Amino acid sequence: MKQYTVLSALQALENKTYTCEELVAKSIDCFEQDLKTDAPLNAFLEIYADALVQARRCDEERDRALAQGPDALKNLLAKKPLLGIPFGVKDNISVRGKSLTCASHILEGYTAPYNATVIQRLVDAGAVPLGRCNQDEFAMGSSTEYSAYGPTRNPINRTYVAGGSSGGSAAAVASGMVPFALGTETGGSVRLPASYCGVYGLKPTYGLLSRWGITAFGSSLDQAGVFGVTPDDIALPLRIMSGKDFYDDTSEDIPAGCEINSPCPPLADTEFASLKIAVPRQFAEAKGLDEEVAGIFEKVQTWFKERGSSIELVDIPVLDASIASYYVIALSEAASNLSRFDGIRYGNRKDRGEGYDDLFIQTRSEGFGAEVKRRIIIGNYVLSDQFSGTYYKRAMGVRARIQREIAALYKTYSCILCPTCPTPAFKLGQKTEDPMAMYLSDMFTVFVNLSRTASLNVPAGTTSAGLPVGVQFAGPMFSENRLLSMAKAWHTGRNGEKK
Ligand code: GLN
C-alpha cells in the first residue's frame, strides 16, 4: 500500500493488514524519509507529538469493540467512520493545544485554545490530526513561497512550486504522507495547489463548512476545503464536517436532495447524457492560457461529449473583472481581519517599553512578511474615506453581478467546465518578485468564491514536462455530491483506461 486512500486505509484496518498505529507510523515514516532527501518537500511544519498516542487509543477502542462482538464494532464505526485515519491540517486551522502560526512569525508561540469545528467533527469521527501543513503566510499567495518557514516543493518535480496557498496540504496528499488533508480557500487556494500537484481538491459552497476556529482572511470568501487522491477521499470527510454550526452563523445544513454520499456513486451514463455544460469564453480564450493546458482541457471536453453531454461556449464578460474585484474585496477584508494581530492578543510581542503605539508598530513590522504588509496597505487604502467609493463599492458591485450571473447561468446549465489555472506549476522563485503575475494565477478560480458556489479540481493530464494539469468541475451552491459523482466516473474511467 504505497499511496493509500481513505477507503483503502479503512479496508486495511478492517482486514487487519494494518493497525491504526501502523498507519500513522507509516505517515510519519514517509515524512521522515522525505526529510532525508536533498530537497525536502516542506509539506509539514510540524508532526504532532501525540499522533501515535492518538492512533494507539483508536486501536484500543477498536479492539474493545471487537471483543464485544461484530455488532459493537459496527456501532463504533457508524459513530466513528474515520477511526484511526491520519490527516494533514493547514496551519491556519485551530487544533486544540497545538501551535498555529499561519506560516507567519507574528503568531510564533501561539497555541490554539480550542478545536475548529471542522477539526472537532473529524476528531469525533475518529480521525487523527497528523500535523500542521505549510502555507503562504495568512493564506495570501498562490505558490506557498510566501511562508515564513520556506516554500513547499512540488512532489512531482521538486524544482517547481506546489501551488498555494494550501501547498503543504496538497503536497502532503500528493506525496502519500496522508490520505486526505484540510486546506482553506479564499480565492483558489485549494484548487490551485491541487492542480499543480495532481490531486483532487474541493472548494465547497460558502457556508457548507463552519469557519469557526479558522483564521480569517476574507471572511465573506473563506471556506475550508479538502484534498484527496480520489473523489472518495474528499466525500467522507466532507460529509462528516458539513452542516450548521452554532458558532458560525453563516454555516448551513445541506438541503434535502444534496446530501453527500460516501462512497460516492459514479454519475450514471444516462445522467452524463443529460448534462448541459457551460465553458466560459473568457477562460477558454484567455490570454495567457498555456497551450498544453488548453490541449488537456480540450480532451476533457471530448470525454464529456463522448458521453452525450452537451457543451456550449458561453459569454460572461463580467468574469474579466473578477480578479480585480476579488483582490479589492479580499484585501479590504484582510486589512480589517489582520488588525487583531497587535502583539497583545496573540503570539509574538515586540515591546521596547515605549508605549502601545511602539509595541503595535514593532510587533507588526517584524512579525508580518512583505506580501501580508502589501495587502494590509492596499486594503486600508481602498477602504479609506477618499477611495472606498472608487474601489471597494465598485468591487462589491462587480461581485453582486458575478453572483447574479453565475446563479442565472446555473438555471440553464448543470455545471461549468474550465481549466483550474492558466499554466502548470512554475519554477520556484519565478513569480515571487512579481505580485501581479502571481495574482493572475487565480484568474479562473476566484469567480467561484465571489459567487459562493462550489468547484472541484480534477486531475486531468500531464504536460510534456510531466507536470500535472487540473480542470474544474464547478457547480451551483450545494452541488458537491454531483461534482464528486462526475469526478468519480472520470476517475474510474481513467484508471480503468490506464490498465
Ligand atoms: N491566491 C489568492 C490570494 O493570494 C487566493 C488565496 C486563498 O485562496 N487563500 O489571495
DSSP string, 383-404: HSTTTTTTTHHHHHHHHHHHHH
For a mutational test of ligand 1's pocket, the pick from 102, 104, 142, i.e. the residue with the most ligand atoms closer than 8 A to its C-beta, is: 142
Spatial distance between the Cα atoms of 231 and 202, rounded to a whole number of angstroms: 9
Residue 188 CA to ligand 1 center (angstroms) comes to 6
Catalytic residue chosen out of the listed positions 26, 27, 80, 90: 90
- The answer to whether the CB of 468 is under 6 A from ligand 1 is no
pLDDT score of 250:
98
Judge whether 90 counts as a catalytic residue: yes
pLDDT score of 499:
35
Shortest-distance Cα residue to atom 5 of ligand 1: 187
Judge whether 189 counts as a catalytic residue: yes
pLDDT score of 498:
44
The candidate with the shortest Cα–Cα distance to 47, out of 169, 119, 111, 131, is 131
Q: Which residue has the cell 471530448?
A: 302
Phi then psi for residue 382, to 5 deg, are -70, -15
pLDDT score of 496:
64
- The answer to whether the CB of 163 is under 6 A from ligand 1 is no
The grid coordinates of residue 315 equal 459569454
pLDDT score of 436:
86
pLDDT score of 387:
87
At position 343, the amino acid (one-letter code) is G
- The CA-based angle 226-227-228, given to 5 degrees, is 125
Give me the average pLDDT of each 10-residue run along the chain (499 residues): 85 96 97 97 98 98 96 97 98 98 97 98 98 98 98 98 98 98 98 98 98 98 98 98 98 97 96 98 95 98 97 98 97 97 92 94 97 97 90 96 98 98 97 88 97 98 98 98 98 68
- Tell me the domains of the chain and their CATH numbers: 1-499 (3.90.1300.10)
Catalytic residue chosen out of the listed positions 143, 147, 189, 322: 189
For a mutational test of ligand 1's pocket, the pick from 186, 326, 371, 421, i.e. the residue with the most ligand atoms closer than 8 A to its C-beta, is: 186
Spatial distance between the Cα atoms of 385 and 367, rounded to a whole number of angstroms: 27
Residue 218 CA to ligand 1 center (angstroms) comes to 9
Judge whether 166 counts as a catalytic residue: no
Query: Cβ-count burial of 353 within 10 angstroms (0-12 exposed, 13-18 middle, 19+ buried)?
Result: exposed
Atom of ligand 1 nearest to the CA of 446: 5
For a mutational test of ligand 1's pocket, the pick from 144, 165, 326, i.e. the residue with the most ligand atoms closer than 8 A to its C-beta, is: 165
Shortest-distance Cα residue to atom 10 of ligand 1: 140
- Classify each residue of 198-213 as buried b or exposed e, where b means 16 or more C-beta atoms within 10 Å of its C-beta: bbbbbbbbbbbbbbbb
Spatial distance between the Cα atoms of 273 and 277, rounded to a whole number of angstroms: 11
pTM of the model: 0.97
Shortest-distance Cα residue to atom 4 of ligand 1: 141
Q: Give yes or no for a contact between 193 and 163, defined as CB atoms under 8 angstroms apart.
A: yes
